[in-house]
Amino acid sequence: MSAASGGALASDRILARLTALHPKSIDLSLGRIEKLLAMLGNPERKLPPVFHVAGTNGKGSTCAFLRSILEAAGKRVHVYSSPHLVRFHERIRLNGKLIDEDELSALLDECERVNDGAPITFFEITTAAAFLAFTRHSSDAVILETGLGGRLDATNVLARPAVTIITPIDIDHQQYLGTELTSIAGEKAGILKSGVVGVVGPQSDEVRDVIEARAAEIDAPLILWGQDFMAHEEHRRLVYQDDRGLIDLPLPRLAGAHQLINAATAIAALRQVRWLELKDIDLERGLMTVEWPGRLQRLTRGPLVTAAPKGAEVWLDGGHNPHGARAVAHTLADLEERNSRPLYLICGMLNTKDPRGFFAAFRGLAKHVTTIAIPGEPASFGPGQLYDAARAEGLDADPAPSLEDALLQVGARATMTKAKAAPRVLICGSLHLAGAVLRENA
């Protein structure tokens, strides 16, 4: 059975067992995974050149650009990312394909057997499985996305990656990383390595100061957005610039001005690895073919699109913090200028997030918010709690018992207001919700 098909897989049962044995509560440390990796023969020391990516927003998109450009250049690429949207297999990509079900099950069994009941977290043991998989398939590069933080993240066991990348940092995962932006920046900057170039996306002054201080402390050279590389849109093209000159490129396939930044960050990192010998045509093809589900993804078919009001646009985005919400709101505001439609939000969020900060980004833009619980997610805010948060930020809102009911509410409200254009519907607030939507709309 394929990873994308329905029904329980052997790996699903193993993952459920691992989750039960090793609860999701996160105790950030490197000791446990280092011990397991040693018993597995230290696969992390046998990897091809690694692009190690940390940050709060744009990590996944930057990884997607890295992969797309490398593959456009004919390179074989492994990728480890999280979280997954529909199936765990999405987290481990081997030379362009999601990991095979039989191989995933065997790797998880092997790691569990070697660990022999010792304390370890779900993310740590699955990261070890990914490293093992990467050593058993030859490739030209590995793209490695951190889970949480950086300094004590399970991926941060590499002695010398090819490049480290830090995307924009904002407040998120406060229960693990702290509530101060500078402390969060310190954790993310923990992926920097002595003598290894660190490519740094746009940051606030206080965050940039922390990153630069850490880099100076360990002698890690930095390539900084706005100083060493930059990009902007001109005549519906992306113009990239660094110390090697200007490159005129097509706009990325992924929507939004923030994706220009993510694309430029990926390009800057790739251009630090001279042996890759990338050509401009590789960059162009990579930008035009990149895919990253659940990030301002336009849904054009499926039962949820059918259930939406006639003629409606249906968009899906998994951004879940204020910074991500502002990026999405900015993109939708630009879209509104070009093609005006009333914007309706359908929102579900985890109860560890900041809903008021999220909703604030849509003041003056969203006509209405319908709040729902994330299907099957016990850590979700209830619809009433999100309703209160949306109303507190001055947005017109109503709760709904389900996604289907929310779509019906949007349709009824759009009909009642007699708008000239069909609505633009954004389903948003959580990658967990995005995953549920993609499963339901398959």
pTM of structure: 0.91
Asked: is 297-440 a CATH 3.90.190.20 domain? The reply is yes
Longest dimension (CA), the chain: 66
Is pLDDT at 416 greater than 90 in this prediction? no
Q: What fold is seen in the domain 10-289?
A: UDP-N-acetylmuramoyl-L-alanine:D-glutamate ligase (3.40.1190)
Q: Count Cβ neighbours within 10 Å for each residue of 252-272 and write b for 16 or more, e otherwise.
A: bbbbbebbbbbbbbbbbbbbb
Q: 290-320: per-residue pLDDT in tens? A: 999 999 999 999 999 999 999 999 999 999 8
Contact 440, 334 (CB under 8 A): no
pLDDT at 200: 98
pLDDT at 23: 59
Q: Which of 129, 120, 25, 15 is nearest to 80 (CA)?
A: 129
Question: For the chain, what percent of residues have pLDDT higher than 90?
Answer: 86
Q: Which of 180, 167, 154, 176 is nearest to 352 (CA)?
A: 176
Q: 207-220: per-residue pLDDT in tens? A: 999 999 999 999 99
Q: Which of 209, 197, 333, 167 is nearest to 274 (CA)?
A: 197
Contact 211, 200 (CB under 8 A): yes
- Looking at the DSSP bridge assignments, the partners of residue 428 are 347
- The model's confidence at residue 26, banded by pLDDT at 50, 70 and 90, is low
Amino acid at 213: A
Extents of the domains making up the chain: 10-289, 297-440
